[in-house]
Structure 1
């Protein structure tokens, strides 16, 4: 089964969301950035590569977040989505290269975005991760 990895990039209690440009039926919807694991790649290695390619964003890939999510691919292929918590390296910021936009969102803003269904299923785990990562002394 083909594995697709997604990045829950978290910094300062906020999550990085990316707005799809393609394909047309997904244009304008929000997702966690990522992509397919190529033969011979580890899942964390693939995720780091995808974030460099899509957002020119170097990251440290951490632990898994949320459950495996089975989905159907473009041609009916069975895929499994796996998400990992990531942190930008040395305060790096993303650059819009393949998406329409990127946005940092807090836990209270997660429901405001028009997420792809597969990413929407992860919102409870993302909210929990954001709440536990908020800087000390700031209200949640």
Structure 2
């Protein structure tokens, strides 16, 4: 998932914020036990940190469609979307002064996750243990992890 503004994508009518989407991929939408996390390779400031995979919504694209596209491109999987994890902004969770991210719980329905773009490792972590909170998360994603755990409890 890119949290920096790059390329020529224009922000949607989103209060001037670039709309980013992320997938909280769990092992089951009905009884989630584990979360798939992705370790970034770039930019340098975030290399080695963990995040929710996803990316920017393209102009004219619905956020849900953008998330499905991004997860196919980044991980090689098709997903079924569950609940959105509501953020403090209408646009979702603040990433920076220029971007916000909407996050959906998702489950893989097609393919096997592999780090195809932007990541060097994927890992399934238990949702109910402390290990998930001990990972070096990208700072903007950390409150989303906490909200996800509360939402799924």
What is the TM-score with the length of structure 1 in the denominator? 0.83
Q: Equivalent residues in 2 for 1:38-77 (5 A)?
A: 38-67=58-87, 68-72=92-96
Q: Secondary structure at the match of 2:42?
A: coil
Q: Secondary structure at the match of 1:121?
A: helix
Q: Secondary structure at the match of 2:72?
A: helix
Q: Is the 8 A contact 1:36 1:46 kept in 2?
A: yes
Task: Tell me what 1:37 maps to.
Answer: 57
What is the TM-score with the length of structure 2 in the denominator? 0.76
Which of 23, 48, 52 does residue 7 from structure 1 map onto?
23
Higher mean C-alpha displacement, 56-65 vs 30-39: 56-65
Task: Tell me what 2:147 maps to.
Answer: 125
Runs of 4+ residues over 2 Å off in structure 1: 128-131
Provide structure 1 residue ranges, at least 5 long, that are not aligned to the other structure: 132-140
Q: Is the 8 A contact 1:17 1:105 kept in 2?
A: yes
For residue 80 of structure 1, report the CA deviation from its aligned partner: 1.2
Q: In the alignment, does 2:136 pair up with 1:114?
A: yes
Per-residue Cα deviation, 1:71-102 (whole angstroms, up to 9, x for no partner): 32xxxx61111111111005x42012121100
For residue 129 of structure 1, report the CA deviation from its aligned partner: 4.3
**CA distance in structure 1 between the partners assigned to 2:65 and 2:151 by the alignment:** 22
Higher helix share: 1
**CA distance in structure 1 between the partners assigned to 2:151 and 2:34 by the alignment:** 10
Q: Is the 8 A contact 1:14 1:130 kept in 2?
A: no
